[in-house]
Structure 1
């Protein structure tokens, strides 16, 4: 048998077996190793609760709660951030133990000194809606599932008179001393406990969260610890007290168990009140049927993940469905079953015609996550838009969200990227609110003179200085840190605002911001042929080194998490205008070639910059659209080759499967789009540029009765180049496809080749890539 035939047979054998559910084809451990910061916790799509294990309180790799390389688990908390670089949350940690009562967690490398426990990956499993692990030090098997606002635990104990359940209200993934401002615990009866916590973290400096917890059997006795009163010692505790308020609270509930006896624990959350948390618990899980709730959570995930179904190489299928899963975590629900939520003004509001959400990492997710949600979650996108406009009204700064979390805006990243999210969804007809209200919220943000941001932090801009941008058309780098990046990104946001205004028929507003969208030209240096930092006096900053990431002083760096090469191509609304600045489309092609072939100069000092091909950095968002730009200059085969290289080198079906921080869905959204063969280079306006499909077939459910089906002829590892494309049976020469063609339903057919072809070289120009509307 020929070697080629053997290779093809092995490839076919790697295809997923028929009959598998989608949740069986996911791998929730992808991204939990390395610096991906994802988690395998139990939750339902977009749920407020993500219940699962934490291993540490501090350090970058504690950000998701879980890390695959950890050797021990210190407990199970209810709120987590997926794929972000922010150490925050980890609320209401519980830990089942047996034997001696430990009040302190202990350290990862000194396990026996605390309540944490060793575990093994051999006795651990996870799939959407469910997580299981055995705590080896206590021989307690922990199973977790969830509803939208409630985590549901099944804790199976050995026979013992000293079974315990600890709740640690001090545990906070931020972990800084004093990050818990105060907390409360109230014993309602021998099965019900309520309370709250107010945290003061770096990323959410005034976050209120309440809980209600209920056990399936009454506890035998309890201990409440307040370190402010006595310190955490066994000699000093409150045995009979039923209520306590402090910033250093923990409690232990004691049980007697038979061998393999399960104690069930439900714990619900609310940003409004403990009463609401209890109502959430009682309405969402009125019984103790763990298997029913688990199956319900699994069905919800199966339903959501089936909105795009694929076939292909087994590892790629796992990567695809896990990537889609990661895009259905955030934003997260921030509304109780009675419709109440706590807003940016710290007041309680009643949602009426929409569900309220939180956790917007928009510098990351505006690029592909939110465009993906317009395809897969159109109704939820409408709710997200209404959440954002409500946020702007309730925000004392009258700004749309930038990087928001519960009742907080931390503005830790740059740009006004709620604007393209809103503009894109509005342009696609997904908004059911008032046009004037939507436009008002975008204009108010674009005209805000500036917001006090991360003053005192070394690595992010302290003041965005929008007033300078409005007056000068750029952000002076001696006044505003990372002025180049901020100028480029605000120029793009201006274009997105113009797009929405044009769609609304507001011609004067549209023209104003279309012109402002050309401000990217104000930081272009014709001599160097790069975007460069300009000073308040109009001169370019010296010295200049295109491959430098930042100066020794973090306070005056020119670019955000990148260098001049990585920001050279961030003009997604005017790619052809950028080409003109460079001297034409051939010169743009040459600059792209140079970017991808620059000699390796070592790892960047910026943690987020990773996954390098030349100076292209796939591990960070500013580069995510760049490989697709070859389609704009008539060389799509170069894009096609790069897409397969990025897939092979930077995405793996393994815990360290992401080359960088997953970033709340964006790293995964790149994969979902790219696997289907196209990507939103300009995230607003509904135009997707072709790359090269990674799946043999895909089907997008665009309505209850319609699908958009994608097929690939000659699907094989070596066939990475597009030979031809058909749309609904007709030859299709263009390097782009419109959102409207997808949501109508239909069929897209690729024919692949193992050699570069001339397909796409005669394409029409890509829409919304010339600065126009």
Structure 2
């Protein structure tokens, strides 16, 4: 066995730094990083051999059976007694190639290639022994590239040319603090830890995978050149369009043009906008194409630095041409929904998710004066009405003859990419019924008005009926509301549309308290590339983007006593929660810029103008 026990008490972790003690060999490990380079530092006991396992086969896999097969190809070259280079081609989740160079500050004196653990393995493992020259510390740098070994070497030379671990660590801290310092929070210690941990999660991705010279491998699997040295990947669009991307537009607007151009460059190679891109490649995970709301959100908020007509054309191509997995636009437009007898899985969720993208495109078309397209996509955006069944108060599957699925279990969990199957994506009918962020007032009217919609919404949060089946993604339940997964994230903020904001205020407190705890397992569900964290950040400050491209944020109830956002140009947006306490979880009144404020939402412009938002908190629901 080559693994080592370790004591959690010896772990230290902060942005840009990790340290741990390996107990079996008494080795102290420290790791830091630059954008393309990892820097490892190993302190060995004096007088003991300095051995490193260089394992090019192991990696994270979904199933144990894939441990021996996920590496498709591998090449390792020992260029000298201090340098190893090569590449590995892997297929877990999506096929991709990592090019690397590894440098040591001590010479390798022996290398032992270990026998393969299965004839299916394509890569090697080596035990390397080093001549420590009477020193006890071995330093190692790993440069990475999506383009070539030469790119990995250039990245390493540009970012970490020397062996000063402390200097690289300080640069990493400085880089992280440039993000974390954009928000100043006042509250309890747990509040601060939760907020800044969320902010850290938010900025772990997306990742610029272009080399220092701008070269990268995109979906064409050919080396491409970025004109500005940036090409972002790892988006998780199905998750992050909801709150993470709107948060980026507030805190780091300087990144938005590069984000949009990366999506457009991707689309020109792939034939459609990224759905869920990893290391520059399409995973086809999830449904819809939620690059669309990100790009439209950027345009509507006035961002420049990208070609609007180019963006429009790439969006239109992506959501009208059936050239990729999970498109089927001819079926969608023929029936006004995805019939479950023609689309065997996720039919309801796909209609609802695509409808939001259509709404975004309709607004974009209207802004560009493309009236015919705008009408077409507006019609599509209303397809959600074809799935709402007033008899069951839920979004119900319908076949190509217009008949409802019978028998029908609205509690049944479904997901196509599992052995569960079904007509929803990581959820059930009750959860997806509210997935109409583009038209909450219209949905309420379609349900029968505010009173009826309120009954349906109350049932979602209060039912004691359990789900049928289980899914690892459906967690953090309040009734059938599932905070551990993204389709529910806006639903707690629907009550203000029903003139019952107190319910939202109560739920926000419960969700923040129960599902975001300051402990290792304190986050309910998968953070999903910062979306869970962005929900917390917005909610802690007292507002949330129910419709992520509307430029509006529905008021909730703040969970921190104050927040100050550096929005650039010397301006700060401030939020203060007066009288906030454990008991005072409800909002008595709101002021914006010192004046009484009675609207349901604040706007992106309010925030970016440097406004002052004040909540007056109380222990009782305002009647």
Give the structure-2-normalised TM-score. Answer: 0.96
**Alpha-carbon displacement from aligned partner over 1:313-344 (angstroms, at most 9, x marks no partner):** 11111111101110001111110001101111
**Could you tell me which of 386, 391, 395 is aligned with 1:522?**
386
CA 1:551–1:199: 2 relative to 1, 3 Å:
closer
Mapping of residues 451-466 of structure 1, within 5 Å? 451-452=324-325, 463-466=326-329
**Could you tell me which of 308, 311, 316 is aligned with 2:183?**
308
Q: Match of 2:438, SS?
A: coil
CA 1:618–1:444: 2 relative to 1, 3 Å:
same
Q: Match of 2:494, SS?
A: helix
Q: Does 1:721 align with 2:586?
A: yes
- 8 Å CA contact 1:158–1:258 kept in 2: the answer is no
Q: Does 1:424 align with 2:297?
A: yes
Listed as ranges, the gaps of 5+ residues in structure 1 are 1-113, 233-245, 453-462, 759-773
Equivalents in 2 of 1:331, 1:370: separation in Å? 10
**Could you tell me which of 541, 565, 568 is aligned with 2:433?**
568
CA 1:337–1:353: 2 relative to 1, 3 Å:
closer
Mapping of residues 636-675 of structure 1, within 5 Å? 636-675=501-540
- 8 Å CA contact 2:355–2:380 kept in 1: the answer is yes
Equivalents in 1 of 2:169, 2:445: separation in Å? 57
Q: CA deviation at 1:555?
A: 6.9
Q: CA deviation at 1:601?
A: 2.1
Mapping of residues 755-770 of structure 1, within 5 Å? 755-758=620-623
CA 1:256–1:353: 2 relative to 1, 3 Å:
closer
- 8 Å CA contact 1:604–1:610 kept in 2: the answer is no
Q: CA deviation at 1:586?
A: 1.8
Q: Match of 1:330, SS?
A: coil
**Could you tell me which of 433, 456, 469 is aligned with 2:306?**
433
Compare relative contact order (CA 8 Å, sep 6+) and give the higher one, 1 or 2.
1
- 8 Å CA contact 1:158–1:257 kept in 2: the answer is no
Mapping of residues 124-523 of structure 1, within 5 Å? 124-160=11-47, 162-174=49-61, 176=66, 177-201=68-92, 203-204=93-94, 206-225=95-114, 227=116, 247-257=122-132, 261-353=136-228, 355-395=230-270, 398-449=271-322, 451-452=324-325, 463-480=326-343, 481-523=345-387
Q: CA deviation at 1:247?
A: 1.8
**Could you tell me which of 674, 680, 700 is aligned with 2:545?**
680
Q: CA deviation at 1:602?
A: 6.3
- 8 Å CA contact 1:450–1:466 kept in 2: the answer is no
Q: Match of 1:162, SS?
A: coil
Q: CA deviation at 1:526?
A: 3.1
Q: Match of 1:117, SS?
A: coil
Q: Match of 1:426, SS?
A: helix
**Could you tell me which of 549, 557, 561 is aligned with 1:696?**
561
CA 1:399–1:602: 2 relative to 1, 3 Å:
closer
**Could you tell me which of 410, 413, 420 is aligned with 1:549?**
413
Equivalents in 2 of 1:384, 1:450: separation in Å? 24
**Alpha-carbon displacement from aligned partner over 1:244-263 (angstroms, at most 9, x marks no partner):** xx922122321144787111
Q: CA deviation at 1:522?
A: 1.4
Equivalents in 2 of 1:269, 1:368: separation in Å? 30
Equivalents in 1 of 2:279, 2:308: separation in Å? 26
**Could you tell me which of 738, 744, 750 is aligned with 2:609?**
744
Q: Does 1:119 align with 2:10?
A: no
Equivalents in 2 of 1:604, 1:543: separation in Å? 16
Equivalents in 2 of 1:171, 1:372: separation in Å? 36
Q: CA deviation at 1:535?
A: 0.9
Q: CA deviation at 1:128?
A: 0.6
Equivalents in 1 of 2:229, 2:593: separation in Å? 36
Q: CA deviation at 1:625?
A: 0.4
CA 1:193–1:694: 2 relative to 1, 3 Å:
same
- 8 Å CA contact 1:447–1:470 kept in 2: the answer is no
Residue 635 of structure 1 corresponds to 500
- 8 Å CA contact 1:399–1:445 kept in 2: the answer is yes
Q: CA deviation at 1:507?
A: 2.7
- 8 Å CA contact 1:186–1:193 kept in 2: the answer is yes
CA 1:550–1:346: 2 relative to 1, 3 Å:
closer
Q: CA deviation at 1:501?
A: 2.0
- 8 Å CA contact 1:465–1:479 kept in 2: the answer is no
Q: CA deviation at 1:145?
A: 0.3
Q: CA deviation at 1:536?
A: 1.8
Equivalents in 2 of 1:194, 1:226: separation in Å? 21
CA 1:504–1:258: 2 relative to 1, 3 Å:
same
Q: CA deviation at 1:509?
A: 2.0
Residue 732 of structure 1 corresponds to 597
Q: Match of 1:189, SS?
A: coil
